Amino acid sequence: IKVDGKTIELPVITGTEDEKAIDISKLRDLSGFITLDTGFKNTGSTKSKITFLDGEKGILKYRGYSIEQLAEKSSFLEVAYLIVYGDLPTQEQLDGFQAEIAKHTLIHEDMKKFFDGYPSRSHPMGQLGSLIFSLSTFYPECLKPNQTAEEQNLTIIKLLAKLPTIVSFIYKKSLGHPLIYPKNKYDYVTNFLWMTFGQRTEDYDVNPIVVSAMNKLLILHADHEQNCSASTVRIVGSSDCNLYASIAAGIAALWGPLHGGANQAVIDMLELIKEDGGDTEKWINKAKDKEDPFRMMGFGHRVYKNFDPRAKIIKKACDDILENLGIDDPILEIAKKLEEAALTDQYFIDRKLYPNVDFYSGIIYRALGFPSEMFTVLFALGRLPGWIAQWKEMHENKEPIGRPRQIYVGETDREFVDI
Ligand code: MLT
């Protein structure tokens, strides 16, 4: 082929269709074929069978099922099964999955000693990342090279089972309250709510609206194709690093305010507006300022060009929760006014600055009583099946170790001078 008048000979790539598609490394040495893309931002050089996302049309599907149908008809555990194993479970498979998970919801008591050592005011994401990393020391079978499918599955089940326990422990610690251990008679999400909001002596008074909202929130966050955290999990896993350490790396990637930390940033922004007197009009005008526009957190999305399909579903759950719990919180009033302005103001409409999933999820978490520092941890709880599936798929594809091509732009041939 000719590129800029230069003839370049392409090598013949052999193998199955799949091998051809992933063997991009064979094209690496061709001059003129390198895309400078710091952080693999938009090269789209990966493929996956997990999540389909059309940013123009606002479509999101897991394994071919629309997010709207899954959020309406399925539990989070069913969706987790779908994402990890590829198909929705039959009732028998779901019961078996739930029973397997129930066997592993406790965490090692020694791990609790380790957890006790964190300062109670430390950021929940710092605690979460290091606790998940430490699973590889308490459950060292994950380190076994070439695990059989059963061994790998047990590693996966243990992680899915222990994450809700770990998240609720982190929450209880932030309050200085005693920890509550799992009750395996409950389903996955109710068990999490029990450990988080229940009392030691009585059964958790399950509010079906809260359980349903939590299921939806977790489903909507369960995967979002190869973004910052998912790609991190794949690239760390591509060195054959164990599942727990790979997921801990994904948790670190999620922590930042440009990714999972955005829902916390939304509430921090609403607090700021409240402290300033709560004049939303003033802050809307600040966002429109030509010289130095104020960044409205939770508005617009890098991939979705028209609307975030998750936001529509979550907005409804948000309205239900606020009404059901009869919450009277000035922050939530401010949020409602900003939402209304964004949906009706021509400036916001023209720039497609509609509220996204992070805007509403923060409001629901707040209404349920979670402090904003816990929000990203809850995002991680939802995203876990996605990360596991990304790690598993990368191995099933036998993808090579991640190794970005670097274009050196530093000094060349410097003379060494003794000082
Ligand atoms: C997500 O759900 O992971 C976020 O919307 C970020 C993204 O996909 O880039």
Residue nearest to atom 2 of ligand 1 (CA): 224
In the prediction, which pLDDT does 31 show?
A: 47
DSSP conformational letter for 65:
E
What is the ipTM metric for this complex?
A: 0.94
Which residue in 223, 224, 301, 308 is the catalytic one?
301
List the one residue out of 77, 53, 72 whose CA is nearest residue 312: 72
41 Cβ below 6 A of ligand 1: no
- The predicted structure's pLDDT at residue 97: 98
**Ligand 1 atom 5: the closest Cα is on which residue?**
224
Phi, psi of 44 (to 5 degrees): 55, 40
Short-list 45, 383, 49, CA closest to 221: 383
Largest CA distance in the chain: 78
Angle, to 10 degrees, between the axis of helix 262-275 and the axis of helix 357-368? 70
Residue bearing tokens 């009583």: 369
Q: What is the pLDDT of residues 34-87, one digit of tens each?
A: 667 777 766 666 889 999 999 989 999 999 999 999 999 999 999 999 999 999
CA distance 276 to 282: 10
Closest residue by Cα to atom 3, ligand 1, is 224
291 contacts: CB under 8 Å, gap ≥ 6: none
- In this prediction, residue 22 carries a pLDDT of 47
- pLDDT tens-digit series, residues 283-313: 999 999 999 999 999 998 888 887 889 998 9
Tokens of 177: 């309250």
Active-site residue flag, 301: yes
Tell me what percent of the chain is helix, strand and coil, each rounded to the nearest 5.
55, 5, 40
Closest-CA residue, ligand 1 atom 7, reads 227
Ligand 1 pocket, residue 310 CB under 6 Å: no
pLDDT at 320: 86
Asked whether the CA dihedral 316, 318, 321, 322 is positive or negative, the reply is negative
pLDDT at 4: 67
Domains of the chain: residue spans and CATH: 66-256+380-396 (1.10.580.10), 262-368 (1.10.230.10)
Structure tokens at 270: 């609403």
Please report how many Cα atoms fall inside a 13 Å half-sphere around the Cα of residue 155, on the Cβ side: 29
Determine whether the shortest distance from the Cβ of 302 to ligand 1 is under 6 A.
yes
Task: Compute mean pLDDT per 10 residues along the chain, 419 residues long, and list them.
Answer: 72 66 50 65 78 93 98 98 98 98 96 92 96 96 92 97 98 92 94 88 76 95 96 95 97 93 91 94 92 91 86 88 85 87 88 88 89 94 98 94 84 92
- Grouping H, G, I as helix, E, B as strand and the rest as coil, residue 40 is coil
Among the atoms of ligand 1, which is closest to the Cα of residue 358? 5
